Amino acid sequence: MEFHRFTLKHVNELIGSIILCSCSLQADGQLFIRQRIRHLVRAFTERAQRIRRRLELPPTPSTVSSDPEDGNDLRPPPLFRRLQLTNCESADSSTCAPVAGCHSFWGRIKSIHCNRTLDPQRYEYISWLFVVMLCYMYNCWVIPLRNTFPYQTAENTPIWLALDYSADAIYFLDVAFIKPRLKYLEEGFWVADLSLTRRNYIQKWQFKMDVLSLMPLDLLYFIFGTEYLMLRIPRLLKIQTFWEFFDRVDNMVSSPYVVRMARTLTYMLYLIHLNACAYYAFSTWKGLGTNSWVFSGKGSPYIRCFYFATKTATSIGKNPKPETEEESLFMTCSWLMGVFVFAILIGQMRDIVVTATRSQTEYKKLVDEALEYMRCLNVPNHLQERVKLWFTFTWEQQHTLDESRIMDTLPHKMKTDIAINVHIQTLSKVQLFHDCDEALLRELVLKLRPVIFLPGDFICRKGEVGKQMYIVKTGQVQVMGGENESEVLATLTEGSVFGEISLLAIAGCNRRTATVRSRGFSNLFVLRKADLNEAIAYYPDAQEILKKKAKQLIKQNADRERNNKKEQEMAEVIIGNRVEAPETPRLVHTVMQVVPANSPTAHLLKYGSRSTRRVNNTWLNCAQPTTENQMLMVEDNIAVKNSESCLP
């Protein structure tokens, strides 16, 4: 405390002297001194905050047990929590900390007004794009429909006009308030300045198309009338919004193949829609019902014309034959559109389906090849069934048989971030790695490999050389022991770890001490010894820490086994086998036949001197009876003597 007081005292004197000297300097010098003083104060403040945060950090746990006794605190150690925070901070702040109150739809709409700029990858902007896209689809379908078919009348014209100008209002809001606020990438950085985003949007070709789509040609309604719907054709120039919406949704959803199919199907239906409108307009020009080829005027005009356009575009045939040259020219154009345009669209749909089912096709091909190979080797049927079962379960769990091929296409940093998010909770349960370097843990998460075991599969056997460490992700495994390894000693569930000691090259500890078997379908993570050695080769401090912890775990396991053995010995009641008495010599046997049975000599020869006593002038055997008959004889003799002594 005296040192800090001395330092602060001298700092105050220094600041006071600087302030006194600054009074005699010019204006530029005074500004420079003020800036240096502010910098000095800021540096002291930051230093105090760093010291305070360092003092508030919780101590590193010193326990080395793989199974913590206190199950209340299930949080990972501070190092692993710091890894999670670092991984979250490396991503965009908008994804790690969403704005409060923006989870609902109206909250997201309000955030558009509150935020100065908008992220083009967030759901708020995607939702707005969906609204604008619906307005564009309305104009695309309704403008040719109302301009061709007699669906706009004097009674419903106000309704149509209200819908038209509502769509125009959304167009205007998109151009004036939304698109100028979009952030953009420049030299690898997101530009969020509103003036720069506005300038960037104005310089784009999309801005010019958006402005042209809002041309007020509707004012010519006062001259040509509201029936002349061709004046709204410029609204179709906003097709960029339609493409942008499907592109962004394609990148966001987990199954983009549905979005691609919907996009291609929309193109097909719209082309058929335009062909139906053209057929009805041509029939009106030729005269409805004038011949068998034109529309007869019966039934719903749009449905009948749409049906005719579908048959023509798909080349189904059985259409009425054209009777004039104009009709033949129209049919030729329709057939050409069906042959080329629809062939391209159908080819795109086929490519989408092939891409969506490519992984499943490769999986089925690999299974067929494996089964065919086993048949050639005359592998037993039950083993073939287990191989097929493994393929099926692995595909259902992972939807891939080689996940490393997918991850290898990503950069190292991104693979590390993904591995931390997936494996950090699992790796944090291994007490062996709690005090290791953060960089080493980032290397280890990339080394974990998932392995699936079927019911009854032996994961490791007693006496084998341990080359892997196992972490139970899902399922249960059993530790077997006893005679023929048929007794279940323990059951390990999700999050359990075994085999971690065998990873380190400690003399006498590389052999498996028990057999472990999968109880059901189990999904385990495996860390190989070669991968661990490759990762810790450049971390000598971590090697010492791991060896020290491994020795502590070995000692704890030995003490635990020793205590269990003592408890078992204390609990067992050991009963020795009865030692057979030596055969009686013939001389003694002859004497025993001569002397009376109740005489002291007979008792002495039969039981010995120390095992006989006199009860009421009768010699009895004092040794523990060895048979039930001998016990009854002794009790009867005692009872008889007692009864004789009671007689008067």
| Euclidean distance between CA atoms 304 and 223, whole angstroms | 33
492: exposed, middle or buried (Cβ count in 10 Å: 0-12, 13-18, 19+): buried
| Euclidean distance between CA atoms 232 and 210, whole angstroms | 14
72 — pLDDT class (breaks 50, 70, 90): very low
CB atoms within 10 A of CB 231: 20
CA–CA distance from 548 to each of 255, 293, 618 (Å)? 49, 93, 75
Measuring CA to CA, which residue among 90, 93, 71 is closest to residue 82?
90
Of 161 and 93, the one with more pLDDT: 161
pLDDT at residue 221, as a whole number = 86
Beta bridge partners of 487: 481
CB 423, CB 448: distance < 8 Å = yes
| Euclidean distance between CA atoms 641 and 618, whole angstroms | 8
Contacts of 352 (CB under 8 A, 6+ apart): 257, 260, 261, 264
Q: pLDDT of 508-528, one tens digit each?
A: 567 777 788 888 888 888 888
Give yes or no for residue 52 having a pLDDT over 90. Answer: no
Contacts of 81 (CB under 8 A, 6+ apart): 75
> Helix or strand or coil: residue 164?
helix
Beta bridge partners of 525: 450, 471
- 363: part of which helix (H) or strand (E)? helix 358-376
462 — pLDDT class (breaks 50, 70, 90): confident
Give yes or no for residue 108 having a pLDDT over 70. Answer: no
List domains and CATH numbers for the chain.
117-222+231-348 (no CATH), 422-572 (2.60.120.10)
CA angle 599, 601, 607 (to 5 degrees): 100
Q: What is the DSSP letter of 175?
A: I
| Euclidean distance between CA atoms 364 and 362, whole angstroms | 6
The rounded percent of the chain whose pLDDT value lies above 90 is 16
Listed ranges 31-40, 110-119, 390-399, 625-634; the one with the highest mean pLDDT: 390-399
CB 272, CB 313: distance < 8 Å = yes
Of 221 and 94, the one with more pLDDT: 221
- Match 């005009």 to its residue by tokens: 301
Of 629 and 508, the one with more pLDDT: 508
Q: Which of left, alpha, beta for 117 (phi over 0: left; psi -120 to 50: alpha)?
A: beta
Exposure letters 518-547 (e unless 16+ CB within 10 A, then b): bbebbbbbbbebebbeebbeebeebbebbe
Give yes or no for residue 407 having a pLDDT over 60. Answer: yes
Of 643 and 225, the one with more pLDDT: 225
pLDDT at residue 239, as a whole number = 93
pLDDT at residue 209, as a whole number = 93
573 — pLDDT class (breaks 50, 70, 90): very low
73 — pLDDT class (breaks 50, 70, 90): very low
Task: Please tell me the pTM assigned to this model.
Answer: 0.58
pLDDT at residue 45, as a whole number = 75
Q: pLDDT of 300-326, one tens digit each?
A: 899 999 999 888 887 776 778 888 888
CB 498, CB 492: distance < 8 Å = yes
CB atoms within 10 A of CB 197: 20
pLDDT at residue 415, as a whole number = 76
DSSP 520-552: SSEEEEEEEHHHHHHHHTT-HHHHHHHHHHHHH
Q: pLDDT of 113-172, one tens digit each?
A: 555 788 888 888 999 999 999 999 999 999 999 999 988 888 889 999 999 999 999 999
CB 489, CB 551: distance < 8 Å = no
Q: Looking only at Cα atoms, what is the longest distance across the chain? A: 156
| Euclidean distance between CA atoms 96 and 93, whole angstroms | 5
CB 164, CB 126: distance < 8 Å = no
608 — pLDDT class (breaks 50, 70, 90): low
**What average pLDDT does the structure give for the chain?**
75
State the virtual CA torsion across 527, 530, 536, 541 in degrees, nearest 10. 90
Q: pLDDT of 534-565, one tens digit each?
A: 888 888 887 788 778 777 777 777 777 777 67
> Helix or strand or coil: residue 613?
strand
| Euclidean distance between CA atoms 433 and 191, whole angstroms | 41
Segments of 428-553 assigned E as strands:
449-453, 458-460, 468-474, 477-481, 487-492, 497-498, 515-518, 522-528
The rounded percent of the chain whose pLDDT value lies above 70 is 70
Beta bridge partners of 498: 470
Among 194-198, 244-248, 269-273, 604-608, where is mean pLDDT lowest?
A: 604-608
CA–CA distance from 483 to each of 5, 464, 488, 489, 557 (Å)? 74, 18, 11, 12, 22
Give yes or no for residue 337 having a pLDDT over 60. Answer: yes
Q: Are strands 487-492 and 189-191 parallel, antiparallel or unpaired?
A: unpaired
Beta bridge partners of 182: 118
